[in-house]
Amino acid sequence: MKTAQLSGNKGGVAQAVTVLQNGGTVAFATETVYGLGADARNSAAVAAIFSAKDRPSFNPLIVHLACIEMLESIAELPKAAQKLLPLWPGPLTLVLPRKQDSGLSDLVTAGLDTVAVRIPAHPLARELLRRFGGPVAAPSANPSGKVSATSAAHVLAGLDGRIAAILDGGDCAVGLESTIVGFEHGTAVLLRPGGVSVEDIEALLGENLALPTAKEITAPGQLSSHYAPDVAVRMNAENPLTGEAWLGFGQHPRTAPGLNLSSTGNLTEAATNLFDALRKMDAICKREGLKGFAVAPIPQTGLGLAINDRLKRASAKRGRHPLTKV
Protein backbone atom coordinates (compact mmCIF):
# COMPACT_ATOMS: atom_id res chain seq x y z
CA MET A 1 0.00 0.00 0.00
CA LYS A 2 1.31 3.46 -0.87
CA THR A 3 0.80 5.93 2.00
CA ALA A 4 -0.58 9.24 0.65
CA GLN A 5 1.01 12.26 2.34
CA LEU A 6 -1.71 14.92 2.69
CA SER A 7 -0.89 18.50 3.60
CA GLY A 8 -2.66 20.18 6.50
CA ASN A 9 -5.04 22.37 4.50
CA LYS A 10 -8.66 22.17 3.29
CA GLY A 11 -7.74 20.03 0.31
CA GLY A 12 -5.78 17.61 2.50
CA VAL A 13 -8.63 17.34 4.98
CA ALA A 14 -11.11 16.67 2.15
CA GLN A 15 -8.93 13.82 0.87
CA ALA A 16 -8.55 12.42 4.40
CA VAL A 17 -12.36 12.47 4.83
CA THR A 18 -12.73 10.51 1.59
CA VAL A 19 -10.25 7.90 2.83
CA LEU A 20 -12.22 7.55 6.09
CA GLN A 21 -15.52 7.29 4.22
CA ASN A 22 -14.05 4.49 2.08
CA GLY A 23 -13.02 2.52 5.16
CA GLY A 24 -9.35 3.47 4.99
CA THR A 25 -6.85 4.39 7.72
CA VAL A 26 -5.58 7.96 8.13
CA ALA A 27 -2.91 9.12 10.54
CA PHE A 28 -3.68 12.64 11.74
CA ALA A 29 -2.19 15.18 14.10
CA THR A 30 -3.78 15.86 17.47
CA GLU A 31 -2.34 18.15 20.14
CA THR A 32 -1.16 15.10 22.14
CA VAL A 33 0.34 12.64 19.63
CA TYR A 34 -0.57 11.52 16.10
CA GLY A 35 -3.57 9.17 15.96
CA LEU A 36 -4.22 6.42 13.41
CA GLY A 37 -7.88 6.90 12.57
CA ALA A 38 -10.63 4.87 10.94
CA ASP A 39 -14.45 4.97 10.94
CA ALA A 40 -15.35 3.60 14.40
CA ARG A 41 -18.60 2.10 13.02
CA ASN A 42 -16.84 0.06 10.33
CA SER A 43 -15.29 -3.18 11.66
CA ALA A 44 -13.16 -3.78 8.56
CA ALA A 45 -11.74 -0.27 8.81
CA VAL A 46 -11.03 -0.69 12.53
CA ALA A 47 -9.41 -4.08 11.87
CA ALA A 48 -7.04 -2.33 9.43
CA ILE A 49 -5.80 -0.16 12.34
CA PHE A 50 -4.95 -3.23 14.40
CA SER A 51 -3.13 -4.92 11.54
CA ALA A 52 -1.16 -1.77 10.58
CA LYS A 53 0.05 -1.44 14.19
CA ASP A 54 0.39 -5.18 14.92
CA ARG A 55 -1.72 -4.39 17.96
CA PRO A 56 -3.29 -7.16 20.08
CA SER A 57 -6.93 -6.98 19.06
CA PHE A 58 -8.19 -7.12 22.65
CA ASN A 59 -6.75 -3.68 23.39
CA PRO A 60 -9.60 -1.14 23.04
CA LEU A 61 -9.33 2.14 21.10
CA ILE A 62 -10.22 5.76 21.89
CA VAL A 63 -13.17 7.18 19.94
CA HIS A 64 -12.52 10.75 18.74
CA LEU A 65 -15.43 13.13 18.30
CA ALA A 66 -15.79 16.64 16.86
CA CYS A 67 -18.10 17.93 19.59
CA ILE A 68 -19.96 17.03 22.76
CA GLU A 69 -23.29 16.70 20.88
CA MET A 70 -21.89 13.60 19.15
CA LEU A 71 -21.34 11.93 22.52
CA GLU A 72 -25.00 11.51 23.33
CA SER A 73 -25.68 8.53 21.06
CA ILE A 74 -22.51 6.74 22.17
CA ALA A 75 -22.07 6.95 25.95
CA GLU A 76 -23.57 7.93 29.31
CA LEU A 77 -22.06 10.87 31.13
CA PRO A 78 -21.78 10.26 34.91
CA LYS A 79 -22.01 13.35 37.18
CA ALA A 80 -18.28 13.32 37.93
CA ALA A 81 -17.56 13.20 34.18
CA GLN A 82 -19.73 16.26 33.60
CA LYS A 83 -17.47 18.24 35.89
CA LEU A 84 -14.54 17.53 33.57
CA LEU A 85 -16.18 18.78 30.38
CA PRO A 86 -14.42 22.19 30.61
CA LEU A 87 -11.24 20.28 29.70
CA TRP A 88 -12.68 19.46 26.25
CA PRO A 89 -11.56 19.97 23.59
CA GLY A 90 -8.18 18.90 24.95
CA PRO A 91 -5.77 16.17 26.05
CA LEU A 92 -8.32 14.28 28.19
CA THR A 93 -9.94 10.89 27.50
CA LEU A 94 -12.97 9.73 29.49
CA VAL A 95 -13.86 6.05 29.80
CA LEU A 96 -17.65 6.08 29.94
CA PRO A 97 -20.49 3.54 30.09
CA ARG A 98 -21.23 2.65 26.45
CA LYS A 99 -24.80 2.93 25.15
CA GLN A 100 -26.33 -0.28 23.77
CA ASP A 101 -27.12 1.21 20.37
CA SER A 102 -23.90 3.20 20.04
CA GLY A 103 -23.34 1.90 16.51
CA LEU A 104 -19.65 1.41 17.30
CA SER A 105 -17.82 -1.66 16.04
CA ASP A 106 -17.22 -4.15 18.88
CA LEU A 107 -13.56 -4.14 17.86
CA VAL A 108 -13.29 -0.55 19.12
CA THR A 109 -14.31 -1.42 22.67
CA ALA A 110 -12.82 -4.94 22.64
CA GLY A 111 -16.05 -6.31 24.08
CA LEU A 112 -16.06 -3.98 27.12
CA ASP A 113 -19.24 -2.21 28.23
CA THR A 114 -17.31 1.05 28.43
CA VAL A 115 -15.95 3.27 25.68
CA ALA A 116 -13.00 5.68 25.78
CA VAL A 117 -13.90 9.07 24.25
CA ARG A 118 -11.90 12.19 23.46
CA ILE A 119 -12.60 15.54 21.79
CA PRO A 120 -9.16 16.70 20.60
CA ALA A 121 -8.23 20.38 20.38
CA HIS A 122 -5.88 20.40 17.38
CA PRO A 123 -7.61 22.55 14.70
CA LEU A 124 -6.82 20.08 11.92
CA ALA A 125 -8.14 17.11 13.91
CA ARG A 126 -11.30 19.06 14.72
CA GLU A 127 -11.78 19.99 11.05
CA LEU A 128 -11.28 16.37 10.01
CA LEU A 129 -13.77 15.10 12.62
CA ARG A 130 -16.29 17.82 11.87
CA ARG A 131 -16.25 17.21 8.13
CA PHE A 132 -16.30 13.42 8.50
CA GLY A 133 -19.25 13.83 10.86
CA GLY A 134 -18.87 10.48 12.64
CA PRO A 135 -16.83 8.80 15.39
CA VAL A 136 -13.19 8.09 14.53
CA ALA A 137 -11.39 5.31 16.39
CA ALA A 138 -7.72 6.17 16.78
CA PRO A 139 -4.88 4.71 18.80
CA SER A 140 -1.50 6.42 18.73
CA ALA A 141 0.04 6.16 15.23
CA ASN A 142 3.02 3.93 16.05
CA PRO A 143 3.75 0.23 15.72
CA SER A 144 2.42 -1.50 18.85
CA GLY A 145 4.82 -1.30 21.79
CA LYS A 146 6.90 1.50 20.27
CA VAL A 147 7.16 5.17 21.17
CA SER A 148 4.21 7.37 20.09
CA ALA A 149 4.62 9.71 17.11
CA THR A 150 4.71 13.48 17.62
CA SER A 151 5.47 14.42 14.01
CA ALA A 152 4.50 13.21 10.53
CA ALA A 153 8.07 11.97 10.06
CA HIS A 154 7.75 9.78 13.18
CA VAL A 155 4.53 8.27 11.79
CA LEU A 156 6.15 7.49 8.45
CA ALA A 157 9.19 5.97 10.16
CA GLY A 158 6.92 3.35 11.78
CA LEU A 159 3.95 2.92 9.45
CA ASP A 160 4.88 3.97 5.90
CA GLY A 161 3.29 1.57 3.42
CA ARG A 162 0.98 0.13 6.12
CA ILE A 163 -1.65 2.92 6.21
CA ALA A 164 -3.64 4.67 3.48
CA ALA A 165 -2.77 8.29 4.31
CA ILE A 166 -1.23 10.75 6.72
CA LEU A 167 -2.60 14.24 7.32
CA ASP A 168 0.37 16.41 8.28
CA GLY A 169 -0.44 18.83 11.12
CA GLY A 170 3.13 19.59 12.12
CA ASP A 171 4.68 18.82 15.50
CA CYS A 172 2.31 17.98 18.39
CA ALA A 173 2.21 20.78 20.98
CA VAL A 174 1.56 18.66 24.09
CA GLY A 175 3.70 15.69 23.04
CA LEU A 176 2.26 13.19 25.57
CA GLU A 177 -0.85 11.06 25.17
CA SER A 178 -4.07 12.19 26.78
CA THR A 179 -4.80 11.69 30.46
CA ILE A 180 -7.35 8.86 30.78
CA VAL A 181 -10.00 9.04 33.51
CA GLY A 182 -12.54 6.31 34.21
CA PHE A 183 -15.44 6.12 36.68
CA GLU A 184 -16.08 3.48 39.33
CA HIS A 185 -19.35 3.79 41.24
CA GLY A 186 -19.42 7.47 40.35
CA THR A 187 -15.84 8.11 41.50
CA ALA A 188 -13.27 9.42 39.00
CA VAL A 189 -10.24 7.13 38.63
CA LEU A 190 -6.91 7.91 36.96
CA LEU A 191 -6.28 5.21 34.35
CA ARG A 192 -3.31 6.88 32.63
CA PRO A 193 -1.49 10.11 33.52
CA GLY A 194 -1.09 12.33 30.45
CA GLY A 195 -1.38 15.76 28.87
CA VAL A 196 -3.77 17.22 31.48
CA SER A 197 -2.27 17.31 34.96
CA VAL A 198 -3.90 15.50 37.87
CA GLU A 199 -3.94 18.85 39.69
CA ASP A 200 -6.11 20.44 36.96
CA ILE A 201 -8.51 17.49 37.02
CA GLU A 202 -8.80 17.46 40.81
CA ALA A 203 -9.49 21.20 40.82
CA LEU A 204 -12.58 20.60 38.65
CA LEU A 205 -13.69 17.48 40.53
CA GLY A 206 -13.33 19.16 43.90
CA GLU A 207 -11.82 15.92 45.23
CA ASN A 208 -8.85 13.61 44.75
CA LEU A 209 -8.57 11.33 41.74
CA ALA A 210 -8.52 7.70 42.83
CA LEU A 211 -5.96 5.19 41.52
CA PRO A 212 -7.27 2.20 39.55
CA THR A 213 -8.01 -1.14 41.15
CA ALA A 214 -6.30 -4.26 39.75
CA LYS A 215 -9.16 -4.89 37.33
CA GLU A 216 -8.50 -1.88 35.11
CA ILE A 217 -4.75 -2.13 34.91
CA THR A 218 -4.98 -5.41 33.02
CA ALA A 219 -5.67 -3.43 29.78
CA PRO A 220 -2.79 -4.28 27.41
CA GLY A 221 -2.16 -0.59 26.86
CA GLN A 222 -1.05 -0.46 30.48
CA LEU A 223 1.71 -3.05 30.03
CA SER A 224 4.78 -1.68 31.70
CA SER A 225 7.01 -1.73 28.63
CA HIS A 226 4.64 0.08 26.30
CA TYR A 227 6.67 3.08 25.22
CA ALA A 228 9.90 1.35 24.46
CA PRO A 229 13.00 2.55 22.67
CA ASP A 230 15.35 -0.28 21.59
CA VAL A 231 18.19 0.49 24.01
CA ALA A 232 18.16 0.32 27.82
CA VAL A 233 16.78 3.30 29.75
CA ARG A 234 17.75 4.10 33.37
CA MET A 235 15.71 6.84 35.04
CA ASN A 236 16.22 9.01 38.13
CA ALA A 237 19.97 9.09 37.48
CA GLU A 238 22.27 11.73 38.97
CA ASN A 239 24.97 11.06 36.36
CA PRO A 240 25.59 8.83 33.33
CA LEU A 241 27.64 5.69 34.03
CA THR A 242 30.37 4.45 31.71
CA GLY A 243 28.74 3.19 28.52
CA GLU A 244 25.62 5.34 28.93
CA ALA A 245 24.40 8.41 27.06
CA TRP A 246 22.65 11.18 29.04
CA LEU A 247 19.13 12.62 28.77
CA GLY A 248 19.16 15.71 30.94
CA PHE A 249 16.53 17.90 32.58
CA GLY A 250 17.58 21.31 33.91
CA GLN A 251 21.21 22.31 34.25
CA HIS A 252 23.75 19.50 34.14
CA PRO A 253 27.39 19.45 33.03
CA ARG A 254 27.53 17.43 29.80
CA THR A 255 29.87 14.47 30.36
CA ALA A 256 28.30 12.04 27.89
CA PRO A 257 26.66 12.28 24.46
CA GLY A 258 22.98 13.10 24.68
CA LEU A 259 20.23 15.71 24.84
CA ASN A 260 18.33 17.85 27.33
CA LEU A 261 14.53 17.64 27.68
CA SER A 262 14.47 21.21 28.99
CA SER A 263 17.60 23.04 30.06
CA THR A 264 15.45 25.47 32.09
CA GLY A 265 13.70 22.60 33.89
CA ASN A 266 10.31 23.40 32.30
CA LEU A 267 7.96 20.37 32.47
CA THR A 268 5.72 21.52 29.62
CA GLU A 269 8.73 21.85 27.32
CA ALA A 270 10.04 18.48 28.50
CA ALA A 271 6.69 16.82 27.74
CA THR A 272 6.64 18.27 24.23
CA ASN A 273 10.18 17.00 23.58
CA LEU A 274 9.92 13.61 25.29
CA PHE A 275 9.07 11.15 22.49
CA ASP A 276 11.28 12.85 19.91
CA ALA A 277 14.09 12.79 22.48
CA LEU A 278 13.55 9.04 23.17
CA ARG A 279 13.87 8.34 19.43
CA LYS A 280 16.95 10.52 19.12
CA MET A 281 18.58 8.97 22.21
CA ASP A 282 18.02 5.54 20.65
CA ALA A 283 19.85 6.73 17.52
CA ILE A 284 22.65 8.39 19.52
CA CYS A 285 23.27 5.20 21.54
CA LYS A 286 23.38 3.06 18.41
CA ARG A 287 25.70 5.52 16.65
CA GLU A 288 28.05 5.77 19.65
CA GLY A 289 27.91 2.05 20.43
CA LEU A 290 26.39 2.65 23.91
CA LYS A 291 24.16 0.09 25.68
CA GLY A 292 21.63 2.65 26.81
CA PHE A 293 21.02 6.02 28.37
CA ALA A 294 20.45 7.49 31.80
CA VAL A 295 17.73 10.10 32.47
CA ALA A 296 17.94 12.92 35.02
CA PRO A 297 15.30 12.98 37.80
CA ILE A 298 12.00 14.61 36.72
CA PRO A 299 9.88 16.17 39.50
CA GLN A 300 6.69 14.21 40.21
CA THR A 301 4.35 17.21 39.87
CA GLY A 302 2.10 18.51 37.06
CA LEU A 303 3.07 16.96 33.72
CA GLY A 304 6.04 15.35 35.49
CA LEU A 305 3.69 12.53 36.55
CA ALA A 306 2.99 11.57 32.93
CA ILE A 307 6.62 12.05 31.87
CA ASN A 308 7.80 9.73 34.67
CA ASP A 309 5.08 7.22 33.76
CA ARG A 310 6.30 7.05 30.14
CA LEU A 311 9.93 6.86 31.26
CA LYS A 312 9.07 4.02 33.65
CA ARG A 313 7.54 2.08 30.78
CA ALA A 314 10.51 2.91 28.55
CA SER A 315 12.89 1.62 31.24
CA ALA A 316 10.84 -1.47 32.17
CA LYS A 317 12.21 -4.88 31.31
CA ARG A 318 10.56 -5.90 28.04
CA GLY A 319 7.63 -8.27 28.38
CA ARG A 320 6.91 -7.69 32.06
CA HIS A 321 3.30 -6.97 32.83
CA PRO A 322 2.56 -5.24 36.14
CA LEU A 323 1.77 -1.56 35.88
CA THR A 324 4.17 0.66 37.69
CA LYS A 325 1.87 2.64 40.00
CA VAL A 326 1.85 6.36 39.34
Instruction: Compare residues 127 and 276 and give the one whose CB is closer to Mg ion.
Output: 276
Instruction: Compare residues 25 and 140 and give the one whose CB is closer to Mg ion.
Output: 140
Q: Please identify which residue in 140, 222, 224, 272 interacts with Mg ion, judged by CB under 5 A.
A: 140
What is the number of the residue whose Cβ is closest to ligand TXA? 221
**222 contributes a contact to Mg ion by CB under 5 A:** no
What residues make contact with ligand TXA under the rule CB under 6 A?
A: 30, 32-33, 35, 59-62, 93, 95, 109, 112, 114-116, 118, 138-140, 177-178, 180, 191, 219, 221-222
Shortest Cβ 59–Mg ion spacing (Å): 9
CA gap 142, 54 in Å, rounded: 10
Instruction: Compare residues 16 and 61 and give the one whose CB is closer to Mg ion.
Output: 61
Q: Which does 178 bind (CB under 5 to 8 A by kind): Mg ion, ligand TXA, none?
A: ligand TXA
Shortest Cβ 147–Mg ion spacing (Å): 9
Shortest Cβ 148–Mg ion spacing (Å): 6
Q: Which does 30 bind (CB under 5 to 8 A by kind): Mg ion, ligand TXA, none?
A: ligand TXA
Instruction: Compare residues 147 and 247 and give the one whose CB is closer to ligand TXA.
Output: 147
Q: Which does 35 bind (CB under 5 to 8 A by kind): Mg ion, ligand TXA, none?
A: ligand TXA
> Where does this chain touch Mg ion (CB under 5 A) — which range of 15-23, 90-98, 133-141, 193-201?
133-141
Q: Tell me whether the omega of the peptide bond preceding residue 89 falls within 30 degrees of 0, making it cis.
A: yes
Residues touching Mg ion, count (CB under 5 A): 1
Instruction: Compare residues 140 and 315 and give the one whose CB is closer to Mg ion.
Output: 140
Instruction: Compare residues 146 and 244 and give the one whose CB is closer to ligand TXA.
Output: 146
Which residues partner with 63 through β-bridges? 117, 137
Q: What is the SS3 string spanning the chain?
A: CCCEEEECCHHHHHHHHHHHHCCCCEEECCCCCCEEEEECCCHHHHHHHHHHHCCCCCCCCEEECCCHHHHCCCECCCHHHHCCHHHCCCCEEEEEEECCCCCCCHHHHCCCCEEEEECCCCHHHHHHHHHHCCCEECCECCCCCCCCCCCHHHHHHHHCCCCCEEEECCCCCCCCCCEEEEEECCEEEEEECCCCCHHHHHHHHCCCCECCCCCHHHCHHHCCCCCCCCCEEECCCCCCCCCEEEEECCCCCCCCCEEECCCCCCHHHHHHHHHHHHHHHHHHHHHHCCCEEEECCCCCCCCHHHHHHHHHHHHCCCCCCCCCCC
Is residue 3 within 8 A of residue 165, CB to CB? The reply is yes
Instruction: Compare residues 191 and 267 and give the one whose CB is closer to ligand TXA.
Output: 191
Residues that bind Mg ion (CB under 5 A): 140
